[in-house]
Structure formats: structure tokens, C-alpha cells
Amino acid sequence: MTFLWPEMLWLLLLVPAFVAVYLLLLRRKQRAALRYANLGVFMAATGAAQRIRRHLPPVLFLIALILMIAAIARPAAVVTLPSAYQTVILAMDVSGSMKATDVDPSRIAAAQNAARAFVNDLPSRTRIGIVSFAATASVVQPPTGNRDDILAAIDRFQLQRGTAVGSAILVSLKTLFPDAEFDLRRANPRDDSKKGSPLDPAQKQDKAAFKPVPPGSDAGAVIILLTDGQTTMGPDPIEAARMAADRGIRVYTVGVGTTRGELIGAEGWSMRVRLDETSLKAIANVTQGEYFSAGTATELKKVYESLNSKLVFEKKETEITALVAAAAAVFALLAAFLSVLWFSRIL
């Protein structure tokens, strides 16, 4: 346990003083009783049971006093509480590589099935938005609590060419921060790097326009990126992840497919599509998120179940002043009740 105002703990030095005053008053009462009372009556009145009754209310009140001082110091402790995440953005890959069948029945079908189960399991208070991406990214369902609309958006996915993971992250950020400006320019056609093109200087001006926060510090929103990770165009996904980190947004990445991959083709061309775990792990690390591998449909469902538990419950340091103050009140009321019950007076 820690304290937000530890300097107030100096008030605990008053506790020994209260104990000393109580003992002094108790001794004076005993002397007065011996002076005017019959010795036999006095001994009977000060038996073991009577001594316990006499001292129990003051002891309970002393405990209440200690707890009240602790409450003044604003205690905090690491506890497991319902997460404060209120908005979840599901960014789902609909590029051509998602038709690969190394995940049964296919990557996209398995992803859709698991996404539906994930949406149904989230608390009703959570707003969910859907972003789909291929060569470009777009919001197919703004954040809403209507589960029917969310599921309908997932069912409408159609596969397209190209994969812009960076654009998916930026569009998700734009959904969470509508007033922020992000560069969504497409990659230079001559740049065939799988890492995508870097963000231009205009992007850096947006960084300077606000004060960055610690990565993962925003408990109000989270992005879940589901893809095979093979970026072919668009903004650099690592740079986009840094922008998410600067805004405190965690990006949980889910890799769909296998590292061995599968050969797919159409209209006279073919290519092997493999799961790019390296880039997905890097995105998660930059944003203080976590990477999950989903090589099969069963694993993918387990990944979403794991994400659901992470989003619903979270261990965090939380101020517990109210709990300590409530405990102090209980002890104080109990002390007063016993004192009135046994001695017809409050302490």
C-alpha cells in the first residue's frame, strides 16, 4: 500500500498521546473508586469480563482513529477492478491475403467468426467501432453500443488488394480523436518496401501540437489490430504506432495465419502470403500492448477470449480512501454502540 499524502501520516504520533491520556484518566477513576467504594464491590466490578467491556470500546475507537488518519493520507493499493476501457476499435484486415486457407476455413472467415464472439462477450457499456483496411483504411462502423450494427458491419467485409497496416492504425486513431490531424497519404508507387512509406513532415507538426502522454496511459480506449501483418503500402506502421503511443492508446495485435504461409493466386499471378509476426510484435511493444498469435481458427477464438478478459478486468493502483474511511466509520459506530449498550454513555 502507498499513500498520496504520506506527510499526513505524522498525525499518527497523536495516537500514543491519546493512549497516554486514556490511561491517565483511567487511573484517576480507579483512585476515586477505591476512595469511596466498598473494596468487595470494587473487585467484583473490575473482574476480567468487566475489564474487557471497559476497554473494548476505547480500543475500537482507537482503531477507528488510526484508520481515519490513514484515510487522510489518501492510501492507494494495487487492486483488480473492471477496466475503464469504454471504446474498442476493431481494425480488421480485408486484403487479398486474408483469403488464404492456412486457417480453416479461411483467414477472413475465422477472423469474422472470432470477432462476432468477441463483440457478443464485451460488456454492454463498451462502444465498439469497426475499421477495415486493405490498400486504404476506412471506418465501416463508427463506435456504437448497438451490437446488431457492429455484427452487420463485420458481415459486410469484401476482400480487396493491398495491405496498409499503418493506415489502419491512423484511421483508428482518427476515430478516437476526431479533432486531431493525421496524414493518410498513400505510399509512393515506386516504393515497394514492405515497411511502407514514412509519414511526411506535416505529420510531425501534429506531434508538436499536443503534449504526448506515457504509452498505454489512456484507459478510455484501445485498438485491436487483426491482420497477417504484411504491409505492402501506406504509412509506416511503426511510425503510426508511435503516434498511438504518444496518445496513450494501446494497440493489441492479432496475427492471423501461419509463418509458413500459403501460395495464393488469381488472374495469372501468384504469391506466398506469410504471417509477419515481427512487425506486429513491434507495433504492440511500441504502444505497451500485446501480440497474440492465431495460427488456427481455434487459437484465434482463444485470442479474442483472452483479449476480452484483459479488457474487462485490469490490475491497477487505485486510491482506496473511501474504503479506509468507511472502515473507520464502522469501528467508530461499533465502539459507540457497545459503550451505550454496556455503560449507557458514549465512551
CATH 3.40.50.410 residue ranges of the chain are 83-295
Q: Is the per-residue pLDDT at 33 higher than 60?
A: no
CATH of 83-295, one of 3.30.360.10, 3.30.460.80, 3.40.640.10, 3.40.50.410: 3.40.50.410
List, for residues 141-161, the tens digit of each pLDDT value. 999 999 999 999 999 999 998
Q: Is the pTM of this model over 0.95?
A: no
Q: Is the per-residue pLDDT at 200 higher than 60?
A: no
Q: What was the pLDDT predicted at 28?
A: 77
Q: Is the per-residue pLDDT at 24 higher than 50?
A: yes
Roughly how many angstroms between the first and final C-alpha of the chain, as a whole number?
31
pLDDT band at 132 (very low <50, low <70, confident <90, very high): very high
pLDDT band at 48 (very low <50, low <70, confident <90, very high): low
**Selected residue with higher pLDDT from 234 and 54:** 234
Lowest mean pLDDT among 18-32, 67-81, 96-110, 165-179: 18-32
Q: What was the pLDDT predicted at 150?
A: 96
Q: What was the pLDDT predicted at 96?
A: 87
Q: Is 235 helix (H, G, I), strand (E, B) or coil?
A: strand
Give the residue among 137, 307, 126, 136 at the shortest CA–CA distance from 220: 126
Q: What was the pLDDT predicted at 191?
A: 46
Distant-in-sequence, close-in-space partners of 114: CB < 8 Å, separation ≥ 6? 294, 297, 300, 301, 303, 304
Q: Quick one: CA torsion of 281, 282, 286, 290, rounded to 10 degrees?
A: 0
Q: What was the pLDDT predicted at 182?
A: 67
Most distant pair of Cα atoms in the chain: their distance: 115
List, for residues 202-227, the tens digit of each pLDDT value. 444 444 566 889 998 888 899 999 99
User: How many angstroms separate the CA atoms of 269 and 48, rounded?
Assistant: 95
Q: What was the pLDDT predicted at 207?
A: 47
Lowest mean pLDDT among 78-87, 90-99, 228-237: 78-87
CA contacts within 13 A on the Cβ side of 45: 12
CA contacts within 13 A on the Cβ side of 22: 15
Q: What was the pLDDT predicted at 186?
A: 38
Q: Quick one: CA torsion of 155, 157, 163, 164, rounded to 10 degrees?
A: -80
Q: Read off the pLDDT of each residue in 176-196 and give the average, rounded to a whole number.
A: 57
Q: What was the pLDDT predicted at 34?
A: 55
